[in-house]
Amino acid sequence: MSSPQEQHIATYREEAGELLAELETSLLELEENPQDSDLINRVFRAMHTIKGSGAMFGFDDIARFTHEVETVFDQVRNGKMEVTRALLDLTLQARDQISTMLAASGGGPPADNAVGERIIAGLQQLQPQSAQPVRITEELSKTADATDTPPRSYRIRFKPLPEIMLGGTNPVALLNELRELGACEVICHLDAIPTLDNLVAEHCFFYWDIILTTTRGNEAIKDVFIFVEDDCELSINLIDDGSSADADPNYKKLGDILVERGDLSPVEMQKILSMQKRFGEILVDQGLVPASKVQSALAEQQQVKQVRQERTTSAAGPAAAEAALSIRVPADRLDHLVNLVGELVTVQAHLTQLAATRSDNDITTVAEEVERLISELRDTTLTMRMLPIGTTFSKFKRLVRDLSAELGKEIDLETTGADTELDKTVIEKLNDPLVHLIRNSIDHGIEMPDLRKANGKPAKGTVHLGAQHSGDSVLVTIRDDGAGLDKERIRAKAIERGLITPTSELTDKEIFNLIFAPGFSTAQKVTSVSGRGVGMDVVKKAIEALRGTIDIDSTSGKGSVITLKIPLTLAIIETLLVRIDRNFFVLPLSIVEECVELTRADVQASHGRHLAKVRGELTPYISLREQFAILDNQPDIEQIVILSVGGKRIGFVVDDVVGEHQTVIKTLGKLYRDVRGISGATILGDGTVALILDPGLLVEAVAMVEQEQFG
């Protein structure tokens, strides 16, 4: 079992990874909208959090490096620097360096310090010569000289949750960071400390009032608490905005301050005012307010008096921000939950089968209720694992940006359907195929700017990445407005490699599908991007491993469209359960079109060819009996299940169609993983094992056998 410190470090790595992804997205958006202050603040806050949390958990090298980048963007935020392509290039490189340093801390290859030094040197060269690091001291006069913004005073109450230190947070470090913002008075409250019997050594029972006068504004104060905002009660109130030079220098009375804070009621204040002693002394003597809170109110009173006496300029009000609350759950816990739900689905199927064999209304009622509840539990659990595919889409903006610059092309990436949700496991496995397809579109599809202009196209090409739901699947499309696939060139290359004969008659779709052959490439030269003939066959295998399909359409001179059809989840799917003799198989329900009968007369009429006339059209079919060598007890009337495989109607002949079945997918052992045409197995309600068939691979296997037999 890992120690609390190890858990905190693992949490930091996870959060830092998410922040780096957000940082990259924000930088790429900032390139399109360099004046967007919200994006600039997002970039700054992401780096600020990485730095602050890194220092807290012992990642000092990351904290030091990030601080240098943060300093530059602080100048951008304050309007002292502009957002340029050079700045964004260096900041993206800095983001990659932080990622490498983070990976190195977890046992990965060490980061190259020379790269980090080069990035910092480049950032320093971009800064204006007159720009000097601002060193804010506790002296108000020096703080005021460091900026054109007049000082404003804030009342801050920071009350951390007792458990805050269990997460590795040191509240004192946050108070010290506040002191760097300007003139600061900190008062600690002790009234929440419990008796010795109830004291927990690891808990924090202190809380603080801070009176801060700063030119940095509300956002800078919030940045200090940005990574503990869910672990504390925090209030930040502007008590003096510096808007008038002739404001009353005496500020508010002590009682008014305490009432405004909620530490004293108006009735209690009037009662005390009727006495002769000094107000603060009476409060303490009567036990109405702790001495520390009186001291805090006096500190506020005194500091605001001083500020108002020195004020000469005006200031604007602070901006507001909202915080989001969410719960972080480790991915392995969700995976375990899905496995348990899968087992429940199997048990529920067994219960339903038992209820069907017994004439007991009570058992039937319970079975139906359990089926309903488990169905809801299954849907809820799978939804918890769903992530918007936009988390993957955002990574490709960087890919397109860097690769187009490397190839000397001008390319925009457009995305739609980023909020379309897929199972996190599917998204992870979809990343590599999408990377290859987008690289192909950039390298092979989009032409050079001069050639595009000569062909009457805009110099800048476009790659469109989209996603949308389609039943129980998601359609992911990669579309470009490039040159399109060259059919004649593909055909010539296929003939050269012996994939087809010169007399072969192929449709456009069949020609396009030739590029999925292993080692197939039409590139005239090998580059760092492509040309080695490794990729499209791997892409197809990866998509098929996800039980998905890939389709290509292309128009010469106008571009290409590649469509991936991917199931929403890999854990539990809807299938059609079929039987051959005493063996059970399941087929994906999403591609089942219809079921028809096949009689002995139909077989004889086809003269040995596996063709059946369905609704007036000849449909090829595969006999699963023959494929799996099940020779006994063949019925007189069989069933053909018509599936849509690769855009074609293919029939699969079985003895009987049992019906729809909710299938929990189980992986096969190492001995059976390479059996072509079988993608997994499932357990039926009575404990029988049913094999999950892969129609696409079965069709390919039959085609290969026929090619070997008939040439």
Question: Quick one: pLDDT at residue 563?
Answer: 92
Q: CA-CA distance, 576 to 658, in Å (whole number)?
A: 8
Question: Quick one: pLDDT at residue 247?
Answer: 53
Q: Which of 82-91, 131-140, 466-475 has the lowest mean pLDDT?
A: 131-140
Question: Quick one: pLDDT at residue 706?
Answer: 66
Question: What's the alpha-carbon Rg for the chain, to the nearest Å?
Answer: 34
Check pLDDT > 50 for residue 135.
no
What single-letter amino acid sits at 263?
D
Segment 260-269, tens digit of pLDDT? 777 778 777 7
Segment 271-312, tens digit of pLDDT? 776 665 667 777 777 778 888 888 888 777 777 777 766 653
DSSP 443: I
Question: Quick one: pLDDT at residue 177?
Answer: 85
Q: CA-CA distance, 417 to 467, in Å (whole number)?
A: 5
Helix residue ranges per DSSP H, 266-415? 266-273, 279-286, 291-310, 331-357, 361-384, 390-407
Q: CA-CA distance, 386 to 400, in Å (whole number)?
A: 26
According to CATH, what is the number of the domain 4-126? 1.20.120.160
Query: 160 and 208 in contact (C-beta within 8 Å)?
Result: no
Query: 219 and 321 in contact (C-beta within 8 Å)?
Result: yes
Question: Quick one: pLDDT at residue 383?
Answer: 82
Confidence of residue 531 (pLDDT cuts 50, 70, 90): very low
The superfamily in CATH containing domain 391-567 is Histidine kinase-like ATPase, C-terminal domain (3.30.565.10)
pTM: 0.61
Confidence of residue 324 (pLDDT cuts 50, 70, 90): very low
Instruction: Write down the residue that tokens 């404003």 correspond to.
Output: 152
Question: Quick one: pLDDT at residue 462?
Answer: 93
Query: 272 and 212 in contact (C-beta within 8 Å)?
Result: no
Confidence of residue 709 (pLDDT cuts 50, 70, 90): low
Q: What is the dihedral of CA 20, 25, 27, 31, to 10 degrees?
A: 170
Check pLDDT > 90 for residue 477.
yes
Segment 565-614, tens digit of pLDDT? 888 777 677 889 999 988 999 998 888 899 999 888 888 887 778 888 88
Residues whose CB is less than 8 angstroms from the CB of residue 650 and which lie 6 or more positions away in sequence, other chains included: 619, 620, 621, 622, 642, 643, 644, 695, 699
Q: Does domain 331-385 have CATH number 1.10.3470?
A: no
Question: Quick one: pLDDT at residue 2?
Answer: 59
Check pLDDT > 90 for residue 250.
no
Check pLDDT > 50 for residue 533.
no
Check pLDDT > 80 for residue 528.
no
Helix (H, G, I), strand (E, B) or coil at 513: helix
Question: Quick one: pLDDT at residue 562?
Answer: 93
Check pLDDT > 50 for residue 133.
no
User: DSSP for 15-79?
Assistant: HHHHHHHHHHHHHHHHHH-TT-HHHHHHHHHHHHHHHHHHHHTT-HHHHHHHHHHHHHHHHHHTT
Confidence of residue 534 (pLDDT cuts 50, 70, 90): very low
| E strand or H helix at 549 | strand 549-555
Q: How far, rounded to the nearest angstrom, does the alpha carbon of residue 531 sit from its chain's CA centroid?
A: 31
Confidence of residue 523 (pLDDT cuts 50, 70, 90): low
Domain-wise residue ranges, the chain: 4-126, 140-310, 331-385, 391-567, 572-710
Overall average pLDDT of the 173-185 stretch? 86
Confidence of residue 143 (pLDDT cuts 50, 70, 90): very low
Residues whose CB is less than 8 angstroms from the CB of residue 379 and which lie 6 or more positions away in sequence, other chains included: none
Confidence of residue 317 (pLDDT cuts 50, 70, 90): very low
Q: What percent of the chain has pLDDT over 70?
A: 87
Q: Does domain 140-310 have CATH number 3.30.70.1110?
A: yes
The superfamily in CATH containing domain 572-710 is SH3 Domains (2.30.30.40)
